[in-house]
Structure 1
Amino acid sequence: MSAEKTEETAAAWMAREDRGLTSEEQDALDLWLEQSSLNKVAYLRLKATWHRADRLAALKSMRPPPPERRVWLPRMVFAVAASLLLIAGGVIWLRPHQPPEQVYATTVGGLKEVRLVDGTRMELNTNTRVHANVTATGRTVTLDSGEAYFDVVHDARRPFTVYAGNRRITDLGTKFSVFRDGDDVRVTVREGRVRVDILKNTALDTPLVAEQGHQVITKGGETLVLAKPEQDIANDLSWRSGMLVFNQQTLSEAADQFNRYNTRHIVVEGNARKIRIGGSFKADNVDVFVLLLHRGFGLSVNEQGDRIVVSH
């Protein structure tokens, strides 16, 4: 965030504080202050400046007003959105508070947890990039690529919406994940419900509501809804604890999953691609995984630079 944006956000918090913060707003302010030392410095500097301005206003109000007119200096200068803040003899015009869009990202193998200002918890999987914009009137997240899990604080007045490719996923009180790889989008509902819409839809396109224990798989204009057992949902979300869980997936599919988390990629050749495996593995420990393939299935494992070739 730029210094100018930080100053504007700090000033907006001052405005809210002057009229009185709700408990939710106080929690949001505390979270914002903890996010960066720059946030705290800007807030404290503006607060000190405002206190000085408040004292000057009080001193001026003690003087008798001119007989030809009365002058009233409002104490709650920050109570209106368009207000003036006196700083070091200059004047800054404050726009209504619009928190800037935040960008969050992870590298290959990285995981990140973010708590948005509304209290919603967002977990980013490997190689993921999102844009989050939470305001007084709306809450949106755009998933550019990768996968994210959302534990949403429900607010019917401000629906929580995730955009992924040509799909719009709207929270109906839930915990869910969204995966995106180009036009491929997968929504997994752990709790509650979500609504999935096609952007630029026609009258023939009907929004789809997916409930707990279901997965929505989309590509282009096609949509498939699957009911999944609770354990399968847990396996799909095991990445949140840094694990990969397989239940009779082919070795080719398992390798694709490992390759998402590692810069050294597994390449499975020949009939070995069809071998089915099960078990749980640390996503970042590719060496142990291929060692188990060698010992358990008698497969050949050859390292070739940043590739690990597995074959019969």
Structure 2
Amino acid sequence: MSEQHLTEAEYDAITDAAAQWCMRLHAADCTAAERQAFEQWRDAHPLHAFEYEAMQEIWEVADHLPRPQASAALPLPTPAPRKSWRAYGMAAAISALALPLAAYSGWSLGWLPSSYEHFQADGSMRQVTLADGSQVELNLGTELTYSNYKDQRRVTLKKGEAFFKVSHDSSHPLVVKAASGEVRVTGTQFNVWMYEDQVRVTLLEGSVLVNSDNRHPDGGFRLDPGMQARYRQGDHQPQISQTDANDSSLAWRQGKLVLDNLALGEALPLINRYLSKPVMLADSATGNIRVGGIYDVSAIKSLVTTLPKVLPVYLTRNQDGNPVINSLPGTTPKS
């Protein structure tokens, strides 16, 4: 984003407006006219969209606020009609995070983080250092946030894939939330891959606790080096397996995608992770056709277009514009 020559007062006014719009658009009684007015405001200046996106991220952090207990030391406002305590909590969190990031009381109760960071890798891979000193490598198309709470360090993997070298702190674990589950560590090296509701955790060093259902935070399965866990939405427990010496799940760190004689049904989630429009299968039988090879992650689009040259398939598009893989008649293997 280019430099904006605004006064401090003008910049503060944009920040305040973004916070107000964020709260209004999350209200249950927000009207279509208000949403249209917001879009006009957002599009009027590049900083409007930038500041609103920042407020939206803060809102997501505030969504972790717990409901108050009867013994809470802080006084709570009396709810007004059509407003919930959580709405007040989020509004208060936005104000607290926007001015400084968190009031001391919010930090001491474990409600609000003392620091918050957002990282994204779009057209190229990226290496970042979190506030706690942990090192993270982001694959293409990856987005995550980091928040430091009193009782834990929290990473939310919104999409993509990341390799973590976690700074050791046994009293302050790092929790990586991915889809419906989470990975809890104190200091180790591991990889988390996510596509839609599918997650795969690969451990290189140390140990991690993998929980496929974060509604039950006390559960989970411990991985040792060389082990892998997979889960998706609705799984009560992850599938645990041992990785072999030729495991290629971390080849992306060298910019490669390795497909080791995989069925198309297994390969497409790995391929689609890099595409804006995912490739579809015409039918389940087509998904049994196997594919292999080593590909550059920055050129996955070309992989899709070359599939008919190496497999007995042809490509069409559905009504949404997604590429669809179809098998040539008489060539699909049996299930």
Which of 190, 193, 204 is 2:207 aligned to?
A: 193
Secondary structure in structure 2 of the residue aligned to 1:289: helix
Inter-partner Cα distance in structure 2 for 1:117 and 1:265: 34
Identity of aligned residues (%): 28
Inter-partner Cα distance in structure 1 for 2:205 and 2:192: 14
**Structure 1 stretch displaced more, 152-161 or 207-216:** 152-161
Name structure 2 gaps, 5 residues minimum: 1-7, 10-99, 108-112, 329-335
Aligned residues of 2:291 and 2:311 also touching (Cα < 8 A): no
* 1:11-60 deviation per Cα after TM superposition (whole angstroms, max 9, x unaligned): xxxxxxxxxxxxxxxxxxxxxxxxxxxxxxxxxxxxxxxxxxxxxxxxxx
The residue type paired with residue 138 of structure 2 is: L
Counterpart residue number, 1:296: 310
* 1:128-161 deviation per Cα after TM superposition (whole angstroms, max 9, x unaligned): 3322024686422122333322111212232222
Deviation at 1:249, TM superposition (A): 0.8
Q: Do residues 228 (structure 1) and 240 (structure 2) align? A: no
Counterpart residue number, 2:169: 155
Inter-partner Cα distance in structure 2 for 1:200 and 1:264: 31
Counterpart residue number, 1:245: 258
Counterpart residue number, 1:214: 227
Deviation at 1:188, TM superposition (A): 1.5
Alignment of 1:1-312 (within 5 A): 99-107=114-122, 111-134=125-148, 138-181=152-195, 183-197=197-211, 198-201=213-216, 206-219=219-232, 220=234, 221-232=236-247, 235-269=248-282, 271-290=285-304, 292-301=306-315, 306-311=321-326, 312=328
Aligned residues of 1:238 and 1:245 also touching (Cα < 8 A): yes
Deviation at 1:252, TM superposition (A): 3.4
Aligned residues of 2:156 and 2:176 also touching (Cα < 8 A): yes
Which structure: greater strand fraction?
1
Inter-partner Cα distance in structure 1 for 2:215 and 2:137: 28
Aligned residues of 2:167 and 2:186 also touching (Cα < 8 A): no
Inter-partner Cα distance in structure 1 for 2:316 and 2:220: 49
Secondary structure in structure 2 of the residue aligned to 1:161: strand
Deviation at 1:296, TM superposition (A): 2.6
Inter-partner Cα distance in structure 1 for 2:293 and 2:115: 43
Deviation at 1:212, TM superposition (A): 1.0
Deviation at 1:99, TM superposition (A): 4.2
**Structure 1 stretch displaced more, 177-186 or 156-165:** 177-186
Deviation at 1:170, TM superposition (A): 1.8
- Number of equivalent positions: 217
Secondary structure in structure 2 of the residue aligned to 1:258: helix
Secondary structure in structure 1 of the residue aligned to 2:252: helix
The residue type paired with residue 244 of structure 1 is: L
Inter-partner Cα distance in structure 2 for 1:216 and 1:289: 28
Query: Rg larger in 1 or in 2?
Result: 1
Aligned residues of 2:148 and 2:154 also touching (Cα < 8 A): yes
Inter-partner Cα distance in structure 2 for 1:284 and 1:118: 30
Deviation at 1:299, TM superposition (A): 3.5
Inter-partner Cα distance in structure 2 for 1:306 and 1:200: 36
Output the TM-score relative to the length of structure 2.
0.54
Inter-partner Cα distance in structure 1 for 2:184 and 2:169: 12
Could you say what the CA RMSD is over the residues aligned between the two structures, in angstroms?
Answer: 3.5
Output the TM-score relative to the length of structure 1.
0.57
The residue type paired with residue 237 of structure 1 is: L
TM-aligned CA distance change 1:296 to 1:188, over 3 Å:
same
